[in-house]
Amino acid sequence: MSLLEVNHASKNFGSLVAVRDVSLKVEPGELRAIIGPNGAGKTTFFNLISGFFPPTSGSIVFDGKDVTGLSVARRVALGMARTFQITEIFPELTVFENLRIGAEVASGYRLRPWLGKSETAAIKRRVEETLELTQLADKSSRLVGELAHGDQRATEIAMALTLKPRLLLLDEPTAGMGDKETYEITRLVRRLHRDNAFTVVLIEHDMRVVFHLADRIMVLAEGATLAEGTPGEIAANETVQAAYLGKAA
C-alpha cells in the first residue's frame, strides 16, 4: 500500500487555479522529487498534502487514512513532517531547545506541566540522536538565529526529524545555498533516505540534487502534472525538455 496517495487534487484561489487535478502515489521508503518552473504550483501542492489549507477538490490519503479534512496537528501526529522554502525556526532559542520542543510534542508531552527524570532523559537522548544524525551536535547550545544559513536549514530538517516522521516533506532544502552547503544538505538527505529508510518528498530547483537523489520525479507545470517517472525517463522526456529542462540547460 502506498504511504501517501493524492487523488485528483485541485486548489483554486478565486479564479486562479494553482493546482489542477494532480495525483501522486508515494511508496514507503521512496524518495520522490517534485520539480517544475516557478509558479508551477509545487509549494501549493505541498500545502495541500501537509494541511496548510484544504484542497478545493480531491482527496489526500496517508497510510490508508483519508486526512483531507484533518488539521495540521493531527497530520503531524500521524507522522507527516515538513520544512519550508523560507526557513521556519525558533531564532531566539538554541539548537537544542528547538529540537527539544519537537521531541516533547511528538512524545505527547505538550500539555505536561512537568516531566519525570526518565522522561527528561529520553527526550534528551532523542534530541542528541537527531543532533548526531544531522551533524549539528557541536552547535547544540548556539542560538539558531545566529547560525549560518546552511546550518539553519539543517536545524529545520532536524526539528522535523525529532518528530520521527513516516513521511518527510522538504520544500527546496537547498534554497539560497552555495555549492558547499548544497552538497552538505544533499548528503544529509541521501543519508536519511538510504541509511535511515525515511520516505521523502522534496521540491527542488537544483537539477544536480534532484537527479542525484530521486527514485522518481514528478514534473509540474502551470499547476498540472506534465510528466512522471524515473530520473532517466524524465531526462529523456521531450515535453519536459521543451517546457523546463531545455530552458534550464
Residues that bind other proteins (CB under 8 A): 50, 71-73, 76-77, 81-82, 84, 88-93, 97, 100-102, 104-106, 109-115, 156, 159, 163
- Are the C-beta atoms of residues 147 and 136 closer than 8 Å to each other? no
Instruction: Tell me whether residue 158 or residue 219 sits nearer to other proteins (CB atom).
Output: 158
AA letter at 137: A
- Residue 190, SS3 per DSSP: helix
First to last CA, the chain: 37
Instruction: Tell me whether residue 30 or residue 104 sits nearer to other proteins (CB atom).
Output: 104
Q: Tell me the sheet residues that pair with 220.
A: 225
Instruction: Tell me whether residue 44 or residue 237 sits nearer to other proteins (CB atom).
Output: 44
Alpha helices per DSSP H over the chain: 42-50, 72-78, 95-106, 117-133, 149-162, 179-194, 207-213, 231-236, 238-240, 246-248
Instruction: Tell me whether residue 95 or residue 163 sits nearer to other proteins (CB atom).
Output: 163
Q: CB of 49: closest distance to other proteins in angstroms? A: 12
Q: CB of 161: closest distance to other proteins in angstroms? A: 11
Rounded distance, CA 159 to CA 161, Å? 5
- Are the C-beta atoms of residues 11 and 19 closer than 8 Å to each other? yes
Q: CB of 192: closest distance to other proteins in angstroms? A: 18
Instruction: Tell me whether residue 73 or residue 236 sits nearer to other proteins (CB atom).
Output: 73
Q: CB of 20: closest distance to other proteins in angstroms? A: 25
